[in-house]
Chains A and B, each alone.
Chain A
Amino acid sequence: MTLLDVKNLVQHFPIGRGKAVQAVNGVDFTVDAGETLALVGESGSGKTTIGRCVLGLIQPTGGSILFRGEPMGGRRTVRSPELRGRMQLVFQEPAESLDPRIVVGRTIGEPMAALGASRADREKAVLLAAQRVGLPERLLGSYPAELSMGLQQRVGIARAIVSRPELIVLDEPTSALDPSARAEIIDLLIRLQKELGTAYLFISHDLSTVRYLSHRVAVLYLGSIVEQGPAAELFAAPRHPYSVGLLASVLLPNPELRRESTIRLEGEIPSPIDLPPGCPLEGRCPLAIDRCRQMPPAEAVAPGHEVRCWRHEEVARMEKAVDYFERFQSEAERILTPAPEKREEEWAS
């Protein structure tokens, strides 16, 4: 069932002299109940702006956002009272998203307080949420600065789940963390989704995490979704040159596994001010032709797999369909499966 339906979302930020930062330029996607959609892109792709629009933190310039079929937004009354507590957000920098002068137990309970829950209900909900995210009860009286980044992010997640939302926007929740803490948080998010059936809008640029966590993936470039589809399919057979470039940049921990590609992106992401019409990748794309000065339509190449590229058939011909993440898994299995541990006496020999 469709939980969130975003249609033709546009967000422009005027910066004076008739110019505007064109952060989001007509984006369509849906999120079903209980599923994870990843918004993948680099800085300036508009992924964070989309998250903010969905949450009603900023008023979109154009387009519509439906949550359970009901329109969000309208001037000022950004979020209707019925929707309160049904959507939550987890921030990128845990330290900055927590009030340093409030003990974390109270921070976690704040959404409940905003919903007008009684004190007893609130305390119960806080304890349950803390338990779910693996935050020891004794830490509820600590201040954020006393906790490590990983624990701070657990607090952020507890705060997000305390009101039992149907959708959580995860804005790069792990990018500030060390790899092992990151893995723990990812596992926690997956477990929570299984237990609570929450849908995630997962904003990230970390593709190996995306591949593991997401059901579907939307690739963003300069405020447009250039390709979206089921995670496994998109990672195995990317059809947009930008997706190809993105996947070729992923460095898996195995010297043999890296997407070999003839499609190489040159240069850097241009500024999102005064974008020319047409395909946003046109200036960097080795396959660009004259036609690319017009915006290509979203074309379905497989069920649920759409791509916005005039030359996606070319891309399909040039690229081998290999999911390196999948190939890595068999190797990982070999490395991670230990031989039965020897007893103490055997080691001595």
Chain B
Amino acid sequence: MSNTVLEVERLDVEFPTYGQAPARAVRGLDLTIGEREIVGLVGESGSGKTALARAIMQLVPPPGRIAGGRVRFEGQDLSTLDEEQLRALRGRAMSMVIANPRSELNPLLTVGEQIGNVLKYHLGLKGKELRERVLEMLREVRIPDPERRYAAWPHELSGGMAQRVVMAIALICNPRLVISDDATSGLDVTVQAQVLELLKRLAERHRTAMLFITRDIGITAHFCDRVAIIYGGEIMEIASRDRFFANPMHPYSVLLLAAFSHNPKLRSYWLKEGEAASEAQPAETGCPFATRCVRVREHCRSVHPELRELEAGHLVRCHYPVERRA
């Protein structure tokens, strides 16, 4: 990769739990995102994907904390920056698009004010210039009738419109990296498709790299350059999109794809027919996925697998990766 925007190195995020060892939401995670690259990160709830997003922004909600490792943004170790320097980065050089935007927007500020605030506090724009930039951005995210929407309140927006406003906020300072955390999950399917296409187009136009976090592996197939699968706070598999979908090697990746299959035999093999396997918690020792894996062996329960490069650019954290007949 020519230029990296983001390097996450052996990152640990912990949440203290009363009377027990802290819960490790993110465990020794490595991830690199190159310039203008869109990386899809697929994980289910509790996989640590949101903790990772917050840790990259250096805003893990307390009492959680970054317990180890580092995040480098454009070569700069974020742990060496003070709060004021971090603040200057957030929303300007690296920004976030979040889910459920109607509760994330301040109910007492108009759309124009909320978008404008970012410009005001990061770039010091004001007055007519600020208004023009905001209107231009509203047009860019394809909000119809931008003059009127400028003065609209968040509660007057539909889910899709609110999502576009949040995208406008995220992109208006031309960030180098946008992190999208489950951003389109609350939207209706046709609206989701529109919003995703728009987001991709905007990322291209603004030359922005993106970490696209989602529960829906289907989205990543159409939207991302690389795909990473996270489970138990660790990357299980990461590869370029085409390689990944042509030859997924981690049993968990295959399980996620099995949910789309209509073949009862294959489905019941991967999903363990009749069992609520998805209820199992990640294992503490050995492979975190061992408690759910249909192919688990003795070795998996005791030895923690490393992320190994099995093909060029295709890394898998599994002792016994899935192989297929040629």
Contacts and interface: CB of A to CB of B under 8 A. Distances in A.
B3 to A, nearest CB: 25
Interface band, chain B: 35 or more
A255 B258 CA distance: 16
A178 B214 CA distance: 11
Contacts of B220: 253
Contacts of B247: 335
B218 A251 contact: yes
A179 B268 contact: no
A13 interface: no
B274 to A, nearest CB: 6
Given A179-B44, A341-B295, A268 B218 contact: no
Given A205-B189, A268-B191, A329 B324 contact: no
A154 B189 contact: no
Given A183-B271, A254-B245, A255-B241, A42 B324 contact: no
B216 A332 contact: no
Given A251-B216, A341-B320, A179 B276 contact: no
Interface stretch (B30-38, B167-175, B259-267): B259-267
A178 B219 contact: no
Interface in B14-39: none
A interface SS class: helix
Contact of A335 (B160, B193, B248, B273): B248
Nearest to A249: B193
A248 interface: yes
Nearest to B224: A255
A334 B158 CA distance: 41
Interface in B243-257: 245, 247-248, 254-257
B192 A249 contact: yes
Nearest to A149: B45
B133 to A, nearest CB: 25
Contacts of A207: 189
Given A251-B218, A251-B222, A341-B295, A184 B270 contact: no
Interface string A311-349: 000000000000001001100111111110110100100
A255 B295 contact: no
Interface in A32-69: 42-43
A180 B255 contact: yes
A205 B190 CA distance: 10
B260 A251 contact: no
Nearest to A333: B263
With most chain B CB atoms within 10 A of its CB, the pick from A249, A339, A344 is: A249
B295 A184 contact: no
B84 interface: no
Contact of A332 (B189, B219, B260, B325): B260
Nearest to B242: A255
Interface in B185-226: 188-193, 196, 215-223
B61 interface: no
B238 to A, nearest CB: 16
Contacts of B193: 248-249, 251
Given A150-B279, A181-B278, A335-B248, A255 B188 contact: no
B221 A187 contact: no
B189 A250 contact: yes
A178 B45 contact: yes
Contacts of A254: 221, 245
Interface in A172-197: 178-184, 187-188, 191
Interface in A255-270: 255, 258, 265, 267-269
A184 B44 CA distance: 14
Contacts of A182: 259
A148 interface: yes
B260 A267 contact: no
Given A180-B271, A332-B261, A253 B221 contact: yes
Contacts of A238: none
A33 to B, nearest CB: 22
Nearest to A336: B266
B34 to A, nearest CB: 19
Given A249-B189, A325-B262, A187 B273 contact: yes
Nearest to A326: B262
B189 A246 contact: yes
Contacts of B270: 336
Nearest to B251: A338
A145 interface: no
A134 interface: yes
B323 interface: yes
A178 B245 contact: no
Contacts of A336: 254, 257-258, 261, 263, 266, 269-270
A42 B247 CA distance: 33
**4 shortest interchain CB distances as A-B pairs:** A183-B259, A42-B188, A249-B193, A178-B44
Given A249-B193, A335-B248, A338-B322, 19 more contacts: A134-B275, A148-B279, A180-B278, A181-B44, A184-B271, A187-B271, A187-B273, A249-B190, A252-B221, A253-B257, A253-B260, A255-B245, A329-B262, A332-B262, A333-B263, A336-B254, A336-B263, A338-B323, A347-B320
18 contacts: A43-B159, A154-B276, A179-B259, A180-B44, A211-B262, A212-B262, A246-B190, A249-B192, A251-B219, A252-B260, A253-B217, A255-B222, A268-B160, A334-B324, A335-B257, A336-B270, A342-B323, A344-B299
